[in-house]
Amino acid sequence: MSYVIPFGEPPTLDVLGTDQRFPVRRIYCVGRNYADHAIEMGHDPDAEPPFFFQKPADSILPSGGDFPYPPMSKDVHYEIELVAALGSGGTDIPAEKALECVFGYAVGIDMTRRDLQAEAKKMGRPWEVGKAFDFSSPCTRIHTVRQLGHPSTGAIWLKVNGDTRQQSDISHMIWKTPEIIAHLSRLFTLAAGDLIFTGTPAGVGPIVPGDLIQGGVENVDEIKIQVA
């Protein structure tokens, strides 16, 4: 097939143990999925069902790369997350069948222009300017379910310049991975290539150029990016 304008390859991630790559179709993110983070953001964790926002697939930044400090913001925050990578999808997926859709798992960081997000919230506007900017989705390689199983417990952490900023356990997610997939599939048609960032614990905060960000999820992977 030919195109009327140049059209590049889709964004992809490494897959551990193979020279094949995982093509990224869509990126879904779960908001306020740890009670302590919901509280630190001024919300009641028991008062709402899960909600979601999206980032563009080409916002992926592989672990080990430089994160360019984005324009139009003076308050950029990190949010460490477990990421589920889908190998199949559908609509109205039952929670008890949801994990059958998962190809593997990774570790990601939901980078956020917090000042622009706060302004959008105040004015009742969408969050794209705060969440969906270039390079806003750093992510590790993918570990397949065959290699890893389905992690439901394990430490999740993030450090900035060696200082621990976030520390929790993925078992503290309010909505577990099967519930997230089931709920998302009632809103969207999920498909192979979708990534789901499953939420972040408390401790989010700002970074500045020159900072080294390191984080991980126990028994999954570790991520490292340099703020450029």
Q: Which domain holds residue 90?
A: 12-227
DSSP secondary structure string for all residues of 10-71: PPEEEBTTSS-EEE---EEEEES-BHHHHHHTT--TTS---EEEEE-GGGEEETTSEEPPPT
Residue 4, in any domain of the structure: no
**Residue 5 is assigned to a structural domain of this protein:** no
- Residues 42-59 have a mean pLDDT of 83
198 is a domain residue: yes
Per-residue pLDDT averaged across 127-133, rounded? 97
Above pLDDT 90, what percent of the chain?
Answer: 88
In the structure encoding, which two tokens stand for residue 98, read together?
């949801």
Predicted local confidence at residue 43, as pLDDT: 65
Q: Could you tell me which residues are beta bridge partners of residue 28?
A: 54, 196
Task: Report the number of distinct structural domains present in the chain.
Answer: 1
Tokens 């143990």 belong to residue = 17
Would residue 1 count as lying in a domain?
no
The CATH number for 169's domain is 3.90.850.10
**pLDDT, position 23:** 98
Please tell me which residue, 19 or 45, carries the higher pLDDT value.
19
The values of phi and psi at residue 194, to 5°, are -75, 140
Residue 52 resides in a domain? yes
